[in-house]
Amino acid sequence: MQIGVPNQSGPAERRVAITPDVTTRLAKQDFSVVVESGAGMAAGFPDPLFEEAGAAIADARVAWGAELVVCLSGPTDDQIGFLRRGGILLGLLEPLDKPQRMEALASAGVTALAFETLPRTTRAQPMDVLSSQATAAGYQAVLVAATEQGKFFPMLTTAAGTIRPTKALVLGAGVAGLQAIATAKRLGAIVSAYDVRAAAAEQVESLGARFVHLEIEQQDETKTGGYARELEADAQQRLLMQLGEHVARHDVVISTAAIPGQRAPMLITRDMVEHMAPGSVIVDLAATTGGNCELSKADETVTHNGVTILAPTDLVSGVATHASQMYARNAAAVLVHLLQEDGVVIDFEDEITAGLCITHEGRLVNERVKSMLEGGSG
């Protein structure tokens, strides 16, 4: 089966969905790879490296028109027109944020597989793109904060006196948050973190950070597929009242909290920002779904009362080489999982395949996406 790898690089995207090393591995599984010219250049993988790995180089129509297309983000309307009827599309398709796009893919006769709906099980871990890319985002968030705040992260004892270490607070201790904690610790900051999930405290403390305990009932993530769920209004208000004092006494706040298919929870209010010291920095990783900070503006730098608020949506591309390699390995794991004696098979009896699949044979097959299109909450 031929795998198409389109060029989706641009000002905010430098990754490529399949890398040369993974191209070689896929060839051993009887897959062939066709890459749109220039697709890997921004990530450090020029066309000759793909050719050496056995890939063919072609134009956009050929790459999008392959039997199976691996992409980064969902296709535009024009690119949907390039897709092969009966073909398979695998990528970060935003099915819960853009359900109308899924309807268009169904109408085009495409089997759409979305990484966002992959079951969070042990068996699916090698395929978990959300986790691998969140690792990159959490790492980058700390570097951005360290560059922006104008202070050293570690404590320094110098002839000019002792420099106190940065105090960093991470809100949300999922994959991105835990990587942010680990990176900030490596740079020498004093790190604290908070998450509504009960299991997070042990994970935070295992990295040497302090867990912030609030008088809010902790959630059992095993009942919510590994994710936090939205708080009731009164619990949300109590959370904000208690969290404010912790935000105010930190130099850096990195927020990573997200709820799939919903607006990001509000964790940092205008009032909290106004109580932070001038020169403090907030990095909001939830900007694509509304942001965790009331003052965040996606891909803009906001300064309020001397506090800098960053809400980048392209942090992962800052480490495009490694982020691409991880993405490609996750994608290859999915492809090998789908491969049977007769080729790639969409088996709805398999939990992983059924979870990934959003559209098939001209129909929407994901119940949550169907509910959203019908006007439900999802």
Do the two domains 2-127+320-373 and 137-313 of this chain adopt the same fold?
yes
Instruction: Tell me the C-alpha distance between 342 and 353, whole Å.
Output: 16
Catalytic residue, from 21, 37, 47, 120: name it. 120
- Bridge-based pairing of strands 161-163 and 156-158 is antiparallel
Q: Work out the end-to-end distance of the chain between its first and last CA atoms, rounded to an integer number of angstroms.
A: 35
Whether 378 has a pLDDT exceeding 50, the answer reads: no
Catalytic residue, from 8, 9, 79, 131: name it. 131
The mean pLDDT value for 147-159 works out to 94
The mean pLDDT value for 228-249 works out to 85
Residue 61 has φ and ψ, to the nearest 5°, of -60, -40
- 194 tagged catalytic: no
> Which of residues 238 and 308 earns the better pLDDT score?
308
Residues 2-127+320-373, CATH architecture: 3-Layer(aba) Sandwich (3.40)
Q: Cβ contacts of residue 265 below 8 Å, gap of 6+?
A: 228, 230, 231, 236, 257, 259, 292
- 227 tagged catalytic: yes
Instruction: Tell me the C-alpha distance between 6 and 258, whole Å.
Output: 28
- Closest of 113, 174, 148, 177 to residue 335, by C-alpha: 113
- 120 tagged catalytic: yes
Q: Cβ contacts of residue 131 below 8 Å, gap of 6+?
A: 125, 175
pLDDT tens digit sequence for 109-135: 999 999 999 998 999 999 999 999 999
Superfamily name with CATH number, domain 137-313: NAD(P)-binding Rossmann-like Domain (3.40.50.720)
pLDDT tens digit sequence for 8-26: 988 889 999 999 999 999 9
Task: Give the ranges where the chain is alpha helix by DSSP (H).
Answer: 20-27, 47-52, 60-64, 77-82, 99-107, 129-148, 175-186, 200-206, 233-248, 270-274, 320-338, 351-356, 367-373
Residue 348 has φ and ψ, to the nearest 5°, of -75, -5
Question: Does the reported pTM lie above 0.85?
Answer: yes
pLDDT tens digit sequence for 164-205: 999 999 999 999 999 999 999 999 999 999 998 888 999 999
Catalytic residue, from 37, 97, 218, 227: name it. 227
pLDDT tens digit sequence for 250-304: 999 999 998 877 889 999 999 999 999 999 999 999 999 999 999 999 999 999 9
Is 178 within 8 Å of 195 (Cβ atoms)? no
Catalytic residue, from 29, 107, 125, 371: name it. 125
Max CA distance (Å), the chain: 71
- Amino acid at residue number 283: V
Whether 230 has a pLDDT exceeding 90, the answer reads: no
Whether 231 has a pLDDT exceeding 90, the answer reads: no
pLDDT of residue 70: 98
Write down how long the chain is.
378
Catalytic residue, from 128, 195, 251, 284: name it. 128
The average confidence (pLDDT) of the chain is 93
pLDDT of residue 233: 80
- Bridge-based pairing of strands 111-114 and 88-92 is parallel
Is 283 within 8 Å of 254 (Cβ atoms)? yes
Domain spans in the chain, listed from the N-terminal domain onward:
2-127+320-373, 137-313
CB atoms within 10 A of CB 44: 15
